[in-house]
Amino acid sequence: MGVFTYSDESTSVIPPPRLFKALVLEADTLIPKIAPQSVKSAEIVEGDGGVGTIKKISFGEGSHYSYVKHQIDGLDKDNFVYNYSLVEGDALSDKVEKISYEIKLVASADGGSVIKSTSNYHTKGDVEIKEEDVKAGKEKATGLFKLIENYLVANPDACN
């Protein structure tokens, strides 16, 4: 098994506490509400919402995939760090055993956030992951992130 790591950094006008609440703590209800074409539903299938919990995310009609399961590996609400792994679903190919993610939000000087993300692709055998394949998935995630950010800007009372 090999591990391919991809790191990225982006910014948001939304401060870390509010952004973390939207992206992590309230994502299961917020995302299906504002982007039903992307995510139809998210439900806990095992656990209590903390570390070890497994969630099933069902995608909308326009998606290439039907569902994935995430396992929560770490949740630090005070430091705005979230770790989870994609452990099942049709988004995992026959080349990838799992994908582990870490998202960390840091306050930026302008009052917004710096979003630091790291993805670790755990491959089966000695399969290589191409960076352009990772970037394609990242572009879809960025589109969803922009929908969430725009929703928060347009709805200043949401996720406070």
pLDDT at 60: 86
Residue pair 99/87 in contact (Cβ under 8 Å)? The answer is no
pLDDT at 2: 83
Sorted by where each begins, the domain ranges of the chain are: 3-154
Q: Which CATH number fits domain 3-154: 3.40.50.10070, 3.30.450.20, 3.30.530.20, 3.55.50.30?
A: 3.30.530.20
Q: Starting at the edge strand that comes first in sequence, how are the strands of the sheet with 54-59 ordered?
A: 3-12, 113-123, 96-107, 81-89, 67-76, 54-59, 39-46
Confidence of residue 71 (pLDDT cuts 50, 70, 90): very high
- pLDDT tens digits for range 28-56: 999 999 988 889 999 999 999 999 999 99
Residue pair 14/153 in contact (Cβ under 8 Å)? The answer is yes
Comparing 23-37, 43-57, 96-110, 115-129, which segment has the lowest mean pLDDT?
115-129
- pLDDT tens digits for range 12-21: 999 999 999 9
DSSP letters spanning 22-83: IIIISHHHHHHHH-TTTEEEEEEEESSSSTT-EEEEEE-TT-S-SEEEEEEEEEETTTTEEE
